[in-house]
Amino acid sequence: MPTVKVPPVLRQHTDGATEVSVSGSKVGEVLQALVDRHPATREQLFSEDGELNRFVNVYLNDEDVRVLGGLDTAVGDSDTVMILPAMAGG
């Protein structure tokens, strides 16, 4: 199963988990599976119309899914889907 890496700001909604293994063959399915398991992550990730929020960066391994196929990008079992937060701390 693909692994989702959860950023610090979302861990309060994943019971503190830093990584979650969920099923799914596309990026969108993987993120939906994360939301199904941890519903509080939904409004952080998706807008009301189901699109990925503009301020959320999602990487498949080391590549931004925006330059791949977005939420339709195919995901393999050994892949890592990373939710990347912008941080401003200095």
Partner 1 sequence: MATENSGVVAVEEVTPTEAFGELQSPDVALIDTREPYEYAEVRIEGSKLIPPAMVADEISKAVPDKSTRIILQCRSGARSATAAEQLMRLGYVDVASMAGGILEWEAAGLPTASDANLTPEQRDRYSRHTLLPEVGVDGQVKLLEAKVLLLGAGGLGAPTALYLAAAGIGKIGIVDDDVVDASNLQRQVIHKLSTVGTPKSSSAREAIENLNPDVEVVEYNFRLDSSNILDVIRDYDIIVDGADNFPTRYLLNDASVRLQKPVVSASILSFDGQISTFMPYEGPCYRCLYPTPPPPELAPSCSENGVLGVMAGMMGLMQANEVLKLVLGIGEPLIGRLLLYEALGTRFTELKVRRDPECPICGPNAPEVPESEMGQFPDYEAFCGGHVGS
Nearer to partner 1, 64 or 77 (CB): 64
**For the residues of 8-76, what is the DSSP string, one character each?**
GGGGGGTTT-SEEE---SBHHHHHHHHHHHSGGGHHHHB-TTSPBPTT-EEEETTEEGGGTTGGG-B--
Nearer to partner 1, 22 or 45 (CB): 45
Instruction: Say whether residue 83 binds partner 1 (CB under 8 A).
Output: no
Instruction: Say whether residue 40 binds partner 1 (CB under 8 A).
Output: no
State the residues that interact with partner 1 by CB under 8 A.
7-9, 44, 54-57, 59, 62-64, 66-67, 82, 84-90
